[in-house]
Amino acid sequence: MQETTLDIHYVGSYKSVSECPMLPEPEYCFIGRSNVGKSSIINYITGRDEIARTSKKPGKTQSINLFKVTEESPWMMADLPGYGFAAISKTTRGEWSEMIDGYVMGRQNLVCTFLLIDIRHKRLENDREFMNYMGEKGIPFCILYTKSDKLKPMELKNSLAAYEEAMLTEWEAMPPTIVTSSVKDLGRQEILDYIHNLNEIFKSQAL
Protein backbone atom coordinates (compact mmCIF):
# COMPACT_ATOMS: atom_id res chain seq x y z
CA MET A 1 0.00 0.00 0.00
CA GLN A 2 1.41 3.37 -1.02
CA GLU A 3 1.52 6.18 1.55
CA THR A 4 -0.53 9.21 0.53
CA THR A 5 2.29 11.60 1.38
CA LEU A 6 5.89 11.30 0.31
CA ASP A 7 8.82 12.04 2.58
CA ILE A 8 10.18 14.91 0.51
CA HIS A 9 12.32 17.93 1.19
CA TYR A 10 13.38 21.02 -0.70
CA VAL A 11 16.99 20.95 -1.90
CA GLY A 12 17.26 24.32 -3.65
CA SER A 13 16.44 26.57 -6.59
CA TYR A 14 18.92 27.08 -9.40
CA LYS A 15 19.12 29.40 -12.38
CA SER A 16 20.90 26.93 -14.63
CA VAL A 17 21.81 23.28 -14.79
CA SER A 18 25.46 24.11 -14.09
CA GLU A 19 24.41 25.50 -10.67
CA CYS A 20 22.48 22.34 -9.75
CA PRO A 21 24.34 20.00 -7.38
CA MET A 22 25.58 16.78 -8.97
CA LEU A 23 23.59 14.03 -7.32
CA PRO A 24 23.70 10.26 -7.47
CA GLU A 25 19.91 9.76 -7.22
CA PRO A 26 17.74 9.25 -10.30
CA GLU A 27 15.88 12.45 -11.18
CA TYR A 28 12.46 13.09 -12.73
CA CYS A 29 11.42 16.48 -14.00
CA PHE A 30 8.03 18.05 -14.60
CA ILE A 31 7.60 20.38 -17.53
CA GLY A 32 4.62 21.94 -19.25
CA ARG A 33 2.92 25.09 -20.42
CA SER A 34 1.96 27.54 -17.72
CA ASN A 35 -1.43 26.70 -16.21
CA VAL A 36 -1.31 23.09 -17.40
CA GLY A 37 -1.70 21.88 -13.80
CA LYS A 38 1.96 21.28 -12.92
CA SER A 39 1.76 22.59 -9.34
CA SER A 40 -1.47 20.68 -8.80
CA ILE A 41 0.05 17.43 -9.96
CA ILE A 42 3.16 17.90 -7.84
CA ASN A 43 0.94 18.55 -4.81
CA TYR A 44 -1.14 15.54 -5.70
CA ILE A 45 1.77 13.13 -6.18
CA THR A 46 3.67 14.25 -3.12
CA GLY A 47 0.60 14.85 -0.96
CA ARG A 48 2.42 17.96 0.28
CA ASP A 49 1.16 21.30 -0.97
CA GLU A 50 4.12 23.20 0.42
CA ILE A 51 6.27 21.62 -2.30
CA ALA A 52 4.60 23.27 -5.27
CA ARG A 53 4.03 26.38 -3.14
CA THR A 54 7.79 26.65 -2.72
CA SER A 55 8.15 26.55 -6.50
CA LYS A 56 5.54 29.31 -6.87
CA LYS A 57 7.32 31.75 -4.55
CA PRO A 58 8.52 34.92 -6.29
CA GLY A 59 11.94 34.34 -7.79
CA LYS A 60 11.51 30.58 -7.83
CA THR A 61 8.97 30.29 -10.64
CA GLN A 62 11.78 30.87 -13.11
CA SER A 63 14.16 28.42 -11.50
CA ILE A 64 14.93 24.74 -11.51
CA ASN A 65 13.54 23.69 -8.13
CA LEU A 66 14.93 20.44 -6.77
CA PHE A 67 13.33 18.20 -4.16
CA LYS A 68 14.53 14.94 -2.70
CA VAL A 69 12.14 12.09 -2.03
CA THR A 70 13.45 9.90 0.75
CA GLU A 71 12.27 6.35 0.24
CA GLU A 72 14.08 3.02 0.39
CA SER A 73 15.51 4.08 -2.98
CA PRO A 74 15.69 7.88 -2.85
CA TRP A 75 14.95 9.91 -5.97
CA MET A 76 14.87 13.54 -7.04
CA MET A 77 12.05 15.62 -8.38
CA ALA A 78 12.77 18.71 -10.48
CA ASP A 79 10.10 21.34 -11.05
CA LEU A 80 10.94 23.36 -14.15
CA PRO A 81 9.49 26.72 -15.20
CA GLY A 82 6.34 26.69 -17.33
CA TYR A 83 6.83 27.48 -21.00
CA GLY A 84 4.73 29.30 -23.57
CA PHE A 85 3.45 31.94 -21.21
CA ALA A 86 2.14 34.65 -23.55
CA ALA A 87 2.32 37.37 -20.91
CA ILE A 88 6.12 37.35 -20.65
CA SER A 89 8.53 39.02 -22.98
CA LYS A 90 10.36 37.16 -25.70
CA THR A 91 13.66 37.76 -23.97
CA THR A 92 12.45 36.16 -20.76
CA ARG A 93 10.92 33.31 -22.69
CA GLY A 94 14.25 32.80 -24.38
CA GLU A 95 15.97 32.57 -21.04
CA TRP A 96 13.43 30.09 -19.83
CA SER A 97 13.77 27.84 -22.79
CA GLU A 98 17.55 28.08 -22.49
CA MET A 99 17.19 26.94 -18.90
CA ILE A 100 14.96 24.06 -19.94
CA ASP A 101 17.20 23.10 -22.88
CA GLY A 102 20.27 23.22 -20.67
CA TYR A 103 18.61 21.12 -18.04
CA VAL A 104 17.18 18.34 -20.24
CA MET A 105 20.37 18.14 -22.29
CA GLY A 106 22.84 18.44 -19.44
CA ARG A 107 21.36 16.86 -16.35
CA GLN A 108 23.29 13.65 -15.94
CA ASN A 109 20.97 11.89 -13.48
CA LEU A 110 17.79 12.79 -15.39
CA VAL A 111 15.92 9.54 -15.99
CA CYS A 112 12.64 10.76 -17.41
CA THR A 113 10.82 13.99 -18.17
CA PHE A 114 7.12 14.15 -17.37
CA LEU A 115 5.60 16.39 -19.99
CA LEU A 116 2.21 17.70 -18.95
CA ILE A 117 -0.55 18.14 -21.51
CA ASP A 118 -4.01 19.55 -20.77
CA ILE A 119 -6.18 16.94 -22.45
CA ARG A 120 -9.00 19.43 -23.08
CA HIS A 121 -6.96 21.13 -25.79
CA LYS A 122 -5.92 20.08 -29.26
CA ARG A 123 -2.23 19.49 -29.83
CA LEU A 124 -0.61 22.88 -29.31
CA GLU A 125 2.32 24.15 -31.32
CA ASN A 126 4.76 24.73 -28.47
CA ASP A 127 4.04 21.28 -26.99
CA ARG A 128 4.56 19.80 -30.43
CA GLU A 129 7.86 21.65 -30.87
CA PHE A 130 9.04 20.65 -27.43
CA MET A 131 8.24 16.97 -28.00
CA ASN A 132 9.97 17.00 -31.37
CA TYR A 133 12.99 18.62 -29.79
CA MET A 134 13.09 15.93 -27.09
CA GLY A 135 12.67 13.24 -29.74
CA GLU A 136 15.50 14.63 -31.88
CA LYS A 137 17.80 14.71 -28.86
CA GLY A 138 16.74 11.23 -27.75
CA ILE A 139 15.59 12.42 -24.32
CA PRO A 140 12.92 10.08 -22.92
CA PHE A 141 9.64 11.56 -21.80
CA CYS A 142 6.29 10.40 -20.53
CA ILE A 143 3.13 12.37 -21.23
CA LEU A 144 0.89 13.16 -18.27
CA TYR A 145 -2.53 14.19 -19.52
CA THR A 146 -3.95 16.61 -16.95
CA LYS A 147 -7.46 17.78 -15.96
CA SER A 148 -9.12 14.64 -17.32
CA ASP A 149 -12.02 15.18 -14.87
CA LYS A 150 -13.09 18.23 -16.88
CA LEU A 151 -14.24 15.98 -19.74
CA LYS A 152 -17.09 13.47 -19.82
CA PRO A 153 -15.90 9.86 -20.32
CA MET A 154 -16.75 9.82 -24.03
CA GLU A 155 -15.17 13.25 -24.61
CA LEU A 156 -12.05 12.09 -22.83
CA LYS A 157 -11.86 8.97 -24.97
CA ASN A 158 -12.23 11.06 -28.13
CA SER A 159 -9.67 13.65 -27.00
CA LEU A 160 -7.12 10.96 -26.18
CA ALA A 161 -7.68 9.30 -29.56
CA ALA A 162 -7.40 12.66 -31.36
CA TYR A 163 -4.19 13.55 -29.51
CA GLU A 164 -2.67 10.19 -30.35
CA GLU A 165 -3.71 10.45 -33.97
CA ALA A 166 -2.13 13.92 -34.24
CA MET A 167 1.09 12.70 -32.63
CA LEU A 168 1.33 9.64 -34.83
CA THR A 169 1.41 11.80 -37.95
CA GLU A 170 4.97 12.64 -36.82
CA TRP A 171 5.96 9.89 -34.42
CA GLU A 172 6.42 6.21 -35.17
CA ALA A 173 5.05 5.21 -31.79
CA MET A 174 3.52 6.91 -28.79
CA PRO A 175 5.68 7.60 -25.75
CA PRO A 176 4.29 6.29 -22.44
CA THR A 177 1.17 8.21 -21.40
CA ILE A 178 -0.70 8.47 -18.09
CA VAL A 179 -4.15 10.04 -17.71
CA THR A 180 -4.37 12.12 -14.54
CA SER A 181 -6.69 14.27 -12.51
CA SER A 182 -5.46 15.92 -9.35
CA VAL A 183 -9.08 16.75 -8.53
CA LYS A 184 -10.55 13.27 -8.98
CA ASP A 185 -7.50 11.39 -7.68
CA LEU A 186 -6.46 9.71 -10.89
CA GLY A 187 -2.99 8.68 -11.97
CA ARG A 188 -0.94 9.06 -8.80
CA GLN A 189 -0.24 5.39 -8.26
CA GLU A 190 0.53 4.87 -11.94
CA ILE A 191 3.08 7.72 -11.89
CA LEU A 192 4.72 6.40 -8.72
CA ASP A 193 4.83 2.85 -10.11
CA TYR A 194 6.40 4.21 -13.28
CA ILE A 195 9.05 6.07 -11.26
CA HIS A 196 9.74 3.07 -9.03
CA ASN A 197 10.24 0.79 -12.04
CA LEU A 198 12.68 3.24 -13.61
CA ASN A 199 14.48 3.61 -10.27
CA GLU A 200 15.10 -0.14 -10.29
CA ILE A 201 16.52 0.02 -13.82
CA PHE A 202 18.66 3.04 -12.87
CA LYS A 203 20.01 1.19 -9.83
CA SER A 204 20.82 -1.95 -11.79
CA GLN A 205 22.68 0.11 -14.41
CA ALA A 206 24.59 2.03 -11.76
CA LEU A 207 25.96 -1.18 -10.25
Write out the residues near ligand GDP by the rule CB under 6 A: 32, 34-40, 82, 146-147, 149-150, 181-183
CB of 152 to ligand GDP, least distance (A): 13
CB of 147 to ligand GDP, least distance (A): 4
Q: b/e for 134-167, b at 16 or more Cβ within 10 A?
A: beeeeeebbbbbbbbeebeeeebeebbeebeeeb
Nearer of residues 31 and 202 to ligand GDP, judged by Cβ = 31
Beta bridge partners of 164: none
Nearer of residues 108 and 189 to ligand GDP, judged by Cβ = 189
Nearer of residues 130 and 202 to ligand GDP, judged by Cβ = 130
Q: What is the largest CA-CA distance in the chain?
A: 47
CB of 21 to ligand GDP, least distance (A): 24
Q: b/e for 50-67, b at 16 or more Cβ within 10 A?
A: ebbebbeeeebbbbbbbb
**In the chain, which ranges are continuous DSSP H helix?**
38-46, 49-56, 90-106, 125-137, 153-167, 188-206
CB of 89 to ligand GDP, least distance (A): 18
Among positive and negative, which fits the CA dihedral 76, 139, 20, 63? negative
Nearer of residues 110 and 144 to ligand GDP, judged by Cβ = 144
Please state, in angstroms and rounded to a whole number, the distance separating the CA atoms of residues 47 and 43.
5
CB of 28 to ligand GDP, least distance (A): 16
Beta bridge partners of 117: 145
Nearer of residues 26 and 187 to ligand GDP, judged by Cβ = 187
